[in-house]
Structure 1
């Protein structure tokens, strides 16, 4: 059987791999499984949004192909939302709706780079970004973050070569949870602009940022779209993960090329998911604000819990994530599997977010607390404190 070598060499989906660790394991009633592996809410959309989706199903247009770049009314509503959130100017013709934010990233890369080109990724990285680059024969140039889990634009500048096409940032970050300061984001924009690169910023978790108001000022630059490619997701904000609705903002000329990619891959985003996202933008502002406060409470609970675990180190915490340095001699991949049977905990090892030759991955774990309330987080830290491995 012939397989494309670049695809065969790409790592397997980490979350799916971690789920296999649960096979055949029986969890005692007094210590049920805490699944902290995936950054996706398992609760359904709020009831009023479910009602709106049922109404949309009765509209014959919901079941037809739609525009490749998304419903015009959703593109317009998201442009208005971005203007309100960040300030500055953005129009509907600078936005594409995609089948999830992963597809938005793939579409952006398809317009920028191909085999033999390079894209700079801070490490630890979001594994699907690295996977897509590897599949396409694009070099993922690693930019190691410092002990504060922040990437350094000066270090990034030394990594740029004639093959480099873009720099990628994820903020709030997956896997570390760290929120990049506005000045740091602006510095990366300036670097990318000066060197003729694109700056791709994935803000999937924007709506759970701890800062009130705009997390950066990039959209206030009237020429933002000459450098910035902005990615967003409705999946986490409105609990629409299974409906796959994301978005991409850039200049109209690039969108004309991205349209070719999207038409070839999915033809159009799902109409039901888009209508749900539109209804959410128009009606769920207060509900989403409450969701954000709950996530901030969980963040505080995780910080408080690890403050009492002196041998552990909470390196980053925000959005849905905590990134922790563990105190054991074993590799994080081995530790993560042992935690399933010894503590009924499912978390991901840092090695799933780093290149195979990066020793830092072996020292860290990612905790995704989207589906753990404050009591569950307290239970997590209590179990970690009792470990005897």
Structure 2
């Protein structure tokens, strides 16, 4: 096949699911699945009731809506960003998208022609790399060290006349690390000085462990000329199947984004948008409890890791939904990940899925997505890893 999709690799989630084929998991050792970050629990009961009411009573929920999203949701999200970060954010600077993935795809489609370049810190979120490949965008790897924090000077050295954007994901997927405020602002200053965009993906911002705002970029003068901000409602309200994300930037850029959305989905899900708006209005307390639970799981990972560290494992990053680890075994991580399914009943993704082909660090790394396992499940996972001998 010669289509654009042939330029990229198979979906890591789909590929890893194939490792389960033909494998049985006895009752005393059920599968521990820490491969995917999307919440599997349904939304809270009150939201489900509201969604059922909308389905029955709101005929507009079944029709096309505005390409850039419901005006009320755009306004509510703009107000939320102002409340959290300060500065000025207007509804005209916010677009609602069919998930955060579409926000990224539409942003890069607006910024880049085929052959242009985007800088991604490595390890990276694999769907960002996949879309770049499909769109003919050159992915420039910004390698990070053991702390998984990208270096702004190293990024500056990678910028060429073809570079259109630098991408940061914080809290990070796959690394879990929370980028320090000073780092985010330094990357913004670099992007502004070099006339490129900073795409800041905060899909997991609701589960940041810091109580202070992670950045103050919306306070910057003319922030929308440099910053493209991405957010997802999927994690916050357990509605990943309804595909509701958001993108914030200048109205002129959103005019271009609108062309992409109209050509792909026409509009975001009407039901999902109404659910997200209801969540923004009614679920702050519930979301605070969700954050507290995720932070308790993060603490359980950090507190329980010492025995693994004694066996040579390294915890490179931990936050939001993820822990990113280095394994001690003399085999590449993609081989180890498949063997862990068969021999330990554990499904996780290898670092090779988040790094350039042949990258030595990816061969030693694994991502643990712990959002769907409680503290007892984390303890059981670590027990299996401790006892595993290839």
Is TM-score (shorter-chain normalized) higher than 0.5?
A: yes
- Counterpart for residue 181 of structure 2: 182
* Aligned twin of 2:276: 277
**Deviations for 1:229-262, whole angstroms, at most 9, x for unmatched residues?**
0000000100000000000000001111111111
Q: TM-score, normalised by structure 1?
A: 0.99
Structure 2 distance, partners of 1:130, 1:143, is 13
Q: Distance in 2 between matches of 1:358 and 1:322?
A: 20
The alpha carbon displacement at 1:9 in A equals 2.7
Q: Given the alignment of the two structures, is residue 192 of structure 1 paired with residue 170 of structure 2, yes or no?
A: no
Q: Does the CA contact (< 8 Å) of 1:10 and 1:131 recur in 2?
A: yes
Taking only aligned residues, the RMSD between alpha carbons, in angstroms, comes to 0.7
1:370 aligns to what?
A: 371
Cα-to-partner distance string for 1:100-151 (whole Å, 9 max, x where unaligned)? 0000000000110021100000000000000000111110000001211000
In structure 2, the partner of 1:295 is 294
How many angstroms apart in 2 are the aligned matches of 1:132 and 1:57?
33
Counterpart CA distance in 2 for 1:147 and 1:177 is 13
Number of residues paired by the alignment?
Answer: 387
Structure 2 residue aligned with 1:252: 251
- Paired residue for 1:91? 90
| Alignment gaps of 5+ in structure 1 | none
CA distance in 1, matches of 2:102, 2:154: 29
Q: What is the match of residue 380 of structure 1?
A: 381
Whole-Å Cα distance in 1 between the matches of residues 178 and 254 of structure 2? 28
How far apart, CA to CA, are the structure 1 residues paired with 2:342 and 2:145? 33
Q: Cα distance, 1:375 vs. partner?
A: 0.3
2: CA distance, partners of 1:374 / 1:385: 16
Q: Which runs of 5+ in 2 are unaligned?
A: none
Q: Distance in 2 between matches of 1:377 and 1:87?
A: 37
Correspondence for 1:319: 320
Distance across 1 between alignment mates of 2:86 and 2:346: 42
Q: Is the 8 A contact 1:86 1:213 kept in 2?
A: no
* 1:45 match: 43
Determine helix, strand or coil for the equivalent of 1:178: coil
C-alpha separation in 2, matches of 1:150 and 1:104: 23
Question: Aligned equivalents of 1:26 and 1:265: distance in 2?
Answer: 40
Task: State the SS of the aligned residue for 1:236.
Answer: helix
Q: Contact 1:168–1:201 (CA<8 Å) still a contact in 2?
A: yes
Identify which range, 241-250 or 301-310, moves more after superposition: 301-310
If the length of structure 2 is used for normalisation, what is the TM-score? 0.98
Q: Which runs of 4+ in 1 moved over 3 A?
A: none
CA shift, 1:357, in A, is 2.2
Q: Indicate the residue corresponding to 2:117 in structure 1.
A: 118
